[in-house]
Structures are given as C-alpha cells and as structure tokens.
Structure 1
Amino acid sequence: MNHVQLEDKELTWVAKLKLPPLPLHIKNVIDEGKPLTKAVRNKIVQILFDTLSANDIYVPSPLKYISICLDLVKGYPSLADNNSANPINDQAATLQKIRNWLRNESVSSCLIKFPSLHEEKMLLQEMEVLTGNSVLQSFNDVAKSSIIPKLMKLENMCNIPEEILMFKCSNGLVDIAFKALPTVFEELYGDFIVFRQGSDIPNSIFPCLFLKQSQIFLFAEKNLLYKCNNVVHGVAGLLACYWIFNIQFPKSCEKTLQLLCYLVGLTVDICAPVKKVIGVLQ
C-alpha cells in the first residue's frame, strides 16, 4: 500500500489520542524482546484501529486509518511486519463489523463505545456513507423549495399546537412546517418533538428533538447526542439515528417519518395516507 500523507489539521485529534494499554500477554512479549508473530502484530494494529474508530468512525477515507496505524506501528520497529506492506488484512470488513455492531446494540452502548457519534458531523457523515444521501443538504434543498408553502396549506396544518407556534426558531416558516409535520396525519408529538415539561430528558426512547428555551437537542433512547443548530439540522440527525442504530419507526409518528424520508429521497415503504399527501405536494 502506498503511504498516505496526512495534513497537520487531520492529525490534530490523533496527537491528542490516548492509546489504551496493550493486553498483558502482548506487552510481556514486547518487553521481553521476543519475536512477534504476524497474528500478534495484527492484533496490536487492530487495537489501534478500534481506538481510532471510537474517536472517529469514518475520517473520511479508510486509507487514512491505515496510514495512521502504520505510522504508529513504525514507531516501534519490533512491531514491523517485513513480510507484509499492510498488517490490516481486510479493513473494509472491519468497518462493516463496526456498522453491524451499531445496528444490533443499544444506542447507549453505541455512544459509549463510539463517543464521536455525539458529534453532528460524524453522525450525518456516517448516514451519508450508509445511504449515499446527504440528508442535511437534502433537507436544506426542501427548505428552499415550493414544498414548504404547500405543506403549510394542508388542511390539518391549521391545528398546529400553540406551544409550537410559541417556540421561537431561526428559520420561521420552514421550522414551523417541520415541527408541525405530525399534525398532517393527526399523529402524536411525543416520539418526534418533545417540549420541556419539568424534565431535562424526554420520556420517549425513540430519536426525538427536545425543545427548551429556544434551543433544540437531539436525543435517542433518552441519551443526549448534541445540540442542533436549528430544526432542519435536527430532523436530519433524527433520521440518521434511525438508520445508523437500525431503529424501527414508532407507530405514534410513523407517517411523519415516512414523509420526511420521501422529502429527502430515502427509500422506505410508504402507506396510503402518506401517498395521498405526497400527491398533493407534487
């Protein structure tokens, strides 16, 4: 493999990275100066890779992971593998294992193992890798399109709860349209948007936006992921949570989420009521 030269700014987070201790049996082998088998070297590199993954799952090319791991290993000549230019046999398969793990574990476990998912950039980037769709850009395009005025003219939109109208956001009509989306289908808000009601944690276990004091926060399984810039960013992160953590849409706001998927071009099964609304918006 050709060495990949990284820019200084891309190495900033690596320089601050604290590597975990090696397993005792591996440390003893290194300290005693014993010859290292290929399996041991691969295990060490895998530990480095897993540590980097916990800080940044996809930055942004897998080649950079390998480059960083190789540079770290080169600092310890006894770890060098003279018989192989690449001690990671199947890095793509490793990334797939990580993604499979994310889809089968609880959100709480995923956030502990991969704290970088607390960052909007990482969450949305991983969503784009999984779906081939930049949901944030797609929602921004929707916000600028004629769909928003059409949404606001739908019959049930006149029943927007007062608390939504009172919550001040930066994008005016766009934010109101996204926040009020459940009214189109007369669905509940509790698993989509939650307003602070005596608690700093929403009751819903599903991905939802938590609104308090003109601020918007993204939660999943009652875990705070991050503060959102606005509602458009919030709904993009909300959909990303459903995809990355493999969460089934709750019945309470299933139609709302199906419509959001349609608006940004994500493929899901669409029920008849949603198809009817789509027909009006087209």
Structure 2
Amino acid sequence: MEYHVTCGERKVILNCLSKLDVTNQIEARFSITRPFSIQLYSQTFNDWVDVDNLTDLPESGKLLVKDCLPEIQNDYETATHPSSSSSLSTTSPSVETDGWYPSPLQIRTVLMELVKAYPVLQDQNCSSPISTWVCSLRQRFKDIRRPLHSDVQIAAMKIKYGGRERQGSSKRLFEDSFEDEESVALHSKIARLELAKPHPNHDLIEDRHKRTFEFRRNIIAKGAASNDILDQFPTLREINLIFLETKLILKVDVLQTFMDKFGDQKMLQRLENLIKPNHNHQVHFTGRMEKVLLLWPTILKENSAFYFTTIKEDENMFPHVFFDKQEYSVFVDGKKLCVAPNLPQAVVAMICSYWVFDICFPKQLVKSLQLFCCILNLPLKNRHIGVQRVLNKL
C-alpha cells in the first residue's frame, strides 16, 4: 500500500504493510508525538475529507496530516464506561453507539494524550511511542466484548466492524486466538525491526512472537511451506525463538531436557558403547557429548551423512546440520534456518524444526530421530521396534 503524505512543508511517499500501519509510519517519518488527524483527498469531490476509520482508506492515495483533532471525549467515555452516557450495560449493549468498537484513530488519540501527560509511559524500543499500548488496548476491548458475542446486537456490530462473521473478508481469526491478519503483520513487523537493532529488547521480541503463535500454528496446519512461514515470521530464524516455539507446542523445554539427559556421564557412556566405530568423520571430536551426537545414527545402523554434513548438498531437503568454518548451521528444505553456537544446540534446533514446521522424519533417519525423541520423552505417534530394543539397553 502506497500513500502520498503531506505534513506541514514536507511531502513523502509511505509504503505500508497494512492500513492500520499508516499512523505508525506517519509518526515515525515525521517524528510526531502529539495527536493528529488524517484527511484523504477525494478526486470525486475535489476536496479533503476526514478519515474516521483507517480501514476505509483505499489501497493508495493522497493523505494530509492535520493537528487539533475534534473532541472524542464522549466516544472515549462511552468506550470505557458505557453505562455513563447511554443505555449500554454489560448484558445488553446498544447498537446505536460505537463505544464498544472505537476506531483505530480514536484509540491512538486517547493514548497519545496519555503518554503526553505521562512521558514515562512511552515505548522506548518501538518506532511509535504507543505501539505496545495500542495492541494492549485493542486486546482489552476484545476481552470485555468476549462474553457478549452471543448477543444478536453485538453480532451485528461484529459484522459491521470487521468481526468473524463478515462475508468475503480477508481477515479470519484463529478459533482460539483474538489476533487477525493485520495485527499479526504488525506484531511481526515490530519484532523484525527490534531484531535489526544493535541491542534488541528480547522480552519485546518474545512477547510479539507469542502473540502470533496460534495464528502461525493455524497456517502451518493448513500446509504452509517452511520458506513462506519464515518470510512471514522471521523471528523463527533466531535459535532461541525456535526453542521457545517448540516449548509452546510440546509444553516441554526441549533444550533443558536435552542438557539434563545428555549431561549425565553414565548415559553418555552407555550410548558410546552402542555407537559403531566410524573413523571417516571429518570433524574433530571435542568432547564425549559431541562424539555421541555426531555418530548418533550408527546406533541404529543409519547413515550420519543424512543428519550431519560438512559438504553442502542442495538436494538434502530434510532438516540437517551443516558444519563450515567453525560454524554450525541448521538447514530446513534446503535453506539455512539458523546458526547455532555449538553442536548440541544445533542438533536440538534441527530436531525442533520437525515440530515447528510440522515435517515428517526422513526414512533414512526415522529410527535415529525417534530414539532421540524417546530419550527426551517427546511425544511420538508411533515407535519403531528397533528403537524400543535400544531403549531397553539404556
């Protein structure tokens, strides 16, 4: 979406991810910290008209930034205290008022006044001083409307203002989530911008990553390719967030479980006894754990080359670890997913990628990967007989 924006003496072209991103872009580009309104140039009437709802904007056009918004105090009071200005109540809201559904512009205006009065509340790690507050307030309105979804009048308001029942809309909420495509795109953008900073706020990134989790699992369940997922959610290229994603899926801290299991010297000794001799590996063994991980597939007479390689092979589309110049990289579908600080984390990230992207185990390694999951007590649909025999020896 592209807009020609005029603010004072400056004129710029803005490229936005969504219509709701327009105000963020304007604030960042023109360094605006006070409330403002937006007007759209109508070619039909050759005049500037007020924009009350950002979703009404066309895909492109001329915008004018204006100061001194008309008073919205009544709308704000209605939104926060519905019963004080109308016949609204928590059980029977009135269709005549928009208090339950404030426009993005109204929300932003109220929040700009808040951070103007209390500067300490401004976001310090975002392009806009109110980015986090916008998302929080939108979520709050959704939460208080949730018990009223069965009401016929509220259903009518949902259809009017972009709820789940709107026919032909590109927005679709996940069944257990209150995020839509536009809010997910905004969360993803904020996380991506934060990651690009020299000293990113990792708490903020994790928060945005968690907010998009249900939406992301929904599109993965529908068969989305890993490359498309990574383009939409670049946070998954961070190894710590791959571990976080797996923890959200399996309810298990896989990395910590791995360190607890494989940090046991007695366990390592038993595994070493099961490993077949292999002197052709090009990587120097730096420790007992590394040796066990590098030759892991030989326990079940499978080939380590399908799981760990020092030769880049584009035809290896299954998740694997690639070692080059003292760097461990995890590949998925032939593309680099992430870089790991050491071999153990690289192997764990590779295993996690099967859960994160909902990928099937390759036939050449199915027993080895199932054995790995069994030792870590990760859920499996079925278990190979050879795997059970090895577990009995441990």
Is TM-score (shorter-chain normalized) higher than 0.5? Answer: yes
Alignment of 1:64-83 (within 5 A): 65=208
Q: 2:215 matched to which residue of 1?
A: 97
Could you tell me the percent identity over the aligned residues? 20
The structure-2 alpha-carbon separation of the partners of 1:39 and 1:203, relative to structure 1 and needing over 3 Å to count, comes to farther
Q: 2:375 matched to which residue of 1?
A: 263
Of 276, 279, 282, the residue aligned with 2:392 is 279
Of 284, 304, 310, the residue aligned with 1:168 is 284
Q: Deviation of residue 216 (structure 1)?
A: 1.4
Whether the aligned pair in 2 keeps the contact of 1:151 and 1:177 (CA below 8 Å) is yes
Q: TM-score, normalised by structure 2?
A: 0.51
Q: Which has the larger displacement, 182-191 or 110-119?
A: 182-191
Q: 2:344 matched to which residue of 1?
A: 232
Q: Deviation of residue 161 (structure 1)?
A: 4.3
Q: 1:179 matched to which residue of 2?
A: 294
Q: Deviation of residue 189 (structure 1)?
A: 2.7
Aligned partner of residue 331 in structure 2, secondary structure: strand
Once residues 258 and 277 of structure 2 are traced to their aligned partners in structure 1, the CA distance between those partners, rounded to angstroms, is 23
Once residues 118 and 23 of structure 1 are traced to their aligned partners in structure 2, the CA distance between those partners, rounded to angstroms, is 27
The structure-2 alpha-carbon separation of the partners of 1:153 and 1:125, relative to structure 1 and needing over 3 Å to count, comes to same
Whether the aligned pair in 1 keeps the contact of 2:330 and 2:339 (CA below 8 Å) is yes
Whether the aligned pair in 2 keeps the contact of 1:207 and 1:219 (CA below 8 Å) is yes
Q: Deviation of residue 227 (structure 1)?
A: 1.6
**Using CA pairs below 8 Å that are at least 6 residues apart, which structure has the higher relative contact order?**
1
Q: Alignment length, in residue pairs?
A: 229
Aligned partner of residue 158 in structure 1, secondary structure: coil
Q: 2:92 matched to which residue of 1?
A: none
Q: Deviation of residue 22 (structure 1)?
A: 3.3
* 2:324 is the counterpart of 1:189: no
Runs (4+) off by over 4 Å: 37-46, 54-57, 59-65
Larger Rg: 2
The residue type paired with residue 159 of structure 1 is P
Q: Deviation of residue 112 (structure 1)?
A: 1.1
Alignment of 1:48-87 (within 5 A): 48-53=183-188, 56=191, 65=208
Whether the aligned pair in 2 keeps the contact of 1:169 and 1:214 (CA below 8 Å) is no
Structure 1, residues 194-219: CA drift from partner, whole Å, max 9, x if none?
A: 222xx4x5531011001223331100
The structure-2 alpha-carbon separation of the partners of 1:30 and 1:184, relative to structure 1 and needing over 3 Å to count, comes to farther
Q: 2:91 matched to which residue of 1?
A: none
Alignment of 1:19-168 (within 5 A): 20-23=16-19, 31=40, 32-36=49-53, 38=101, 41=104, 46=180, 47-53=182-188, 56=191, 65=208, 95-103=213-221, 104-145=223-264, 146-154=266-274, 157-163=275-281, 166-168=282-284
Once residues 204 and 325 of structure 2 are traced to their aligned partners in structure 1, the CA distance between those partners, rounded to angstroms, is 38
Q: Deviation of residue 271 (structure 1)?
A: 1.1
Once residues 322 and 289 of structure 2 are traced to their aligned partners in structure 1, the CA distance between those partners, rounded to angstroms, is 18
Q: 1:246 matched to which residue of 2?
A: 358
The structure-2 alpha-carbon separation of the partners of 1:167 and 1:202, relative to structure 1 and needing over 3 Å to count, comes to farther
The structure-2 alpha-carbon separation of the partners of 1:21 and 1:54, relative to structure 1 and needing over 3 Å to count, comes to closer
Structure 1, residues 80-133: CA drift from partner, whole Å, max 9, x if none?
A: xxxxxxxxxxx97x6423212134211111111111111101111011010011
Structure 1, residues 147-171: CA drift from partner, whole Å, max 9, x if none?
A: 11101001xx2332421xx41354x
Give 1 or 2: higher strand fraction. Answer: 2
Q: Deviation of residue 257 (structure 1)?
A: 0.4
Once residues 116 and 180 of structure 1 are traced to their aligned partners in structure 2, the CA distance between those partners, rounded to angstroms, is 31
Whether the aligned pair in 2 keeps the contact of 1:216 and 1:230 (CA below 8 Å) is yes
| Structure 2: runs of 5+ lacking an equivalent | 1-13, 24-37, 41-48, 56-100, 105-160, 163-170, 172-178, 193-201
Once residues 249 and 189 of structure 2 are traced to their aligned partners in structure 1, the CA distance between those partners, rounded to angstroms, is 18
Whether the aligned pair in 2 keeps the contact of 1:124 and 1:237 (CA below 8 Å) is yes
The structure-2 alpha-carbon separation of the partners of 1:168 and 1:96, relative to structure 1 and needing over 3 Å to count, comes to same
Q: TM-score, normalised by structure 1?
A: 0.70
